[in-house]
Amino acid sequence: MRFAHSLAMAAVFVGAVAAQNTASLSITGTVNPGQTLAINVTSNLPGGFCGLFVGNTGTSTFTFGFNSLALAIQPTMILPLGMTDASGACGFSQSIPALPSNMPGSFAFPNHTFTCQAVVAKLAMTIPTPGMGGGMGGPGGGVPNPGSFANIFQTAVSNTATLVIGNG
């Protein structure tokens, strides 16, 4: 009976695939003195955690549990952007200060062009409802209702965009 219960739970988790979610990333401006950098993400996941994966061109796959996350970049860092609002949007705008005219020597940002991709993740788990007879695997062999585990972990991956530092 316990084996049947474990098998039912495994089937529930394997079958808990989220619906296709979408996200869109836009980056305007560059990281240069006197410029304004704006990074905006829109998605269909309100209340999700939003992060910007920054790296170089390539592919990466991250596996966690029964889920995997495929990216179109090889990330070297992850920058948290915050939580998405009620419409699924998240972002910021930052002015890069101009260099003072009396600054000694010459200063320049290192030239590099990064490839970026945003990921919005949301945990949307509901408490399972026991089946007939005795609750969760107790006497009577009740198992949780598989429908209550649907969409446990939802993710939305954006398009790629470039982030230019210096002259790229």
Whether residue 103 lies inside any domain: the answer is no
3-state SS class at 146: helix
Whether 74 is covered by a domain: the verdict is yes
Instruction: Quick: pLDDT tens for 65-104.
Output: 667 888 999 988 999 999 999 999 999 999 998 888 887 7
| Structural domain includes residue 134 | yes
Q: Enter the DSSP assignment of 127.
A: P
For 23, the token pair is 């996200």
Note the pLDDT of residue 51: 95
Asked if residue 122 is part of any domain, the answer here is yes
Q: Report helix, strand or coil for 108.
A: coil
End-to-end, the C-alpha distance of the chain in Å comes to 62
More confident residue, 53 or 135: 53
> Are 81 and 40 contacting, i.e. CB atoms less than 8 angstroms apart?
no
Asked if the structure places residue 102 within a domain, the reply is: no
Domain of residue 129 covers 2-94+110-165
Is there a domain that residue 105 lies in?
no
Select from 21, 73, 25 the least CA-distant residue to 48.
21
Total residues found in the chain within this entry: 168
* DSSP letter for each residue of 77-103: EEEEEEE--TTSEEEEEEEPPPPPTT-
User: What is the number of domains present in the chain?
Assistant: 1
The mean pLDDT of the chain is 78
What are the start-end ranges of the H helices in the chain? 2-15
CA dihedral 66, 72, 78, 82 (to 10 degrees): -80
pLDDT tens for 3-37 read 333 333 333 333 344 446 899 999 999 999 899 99
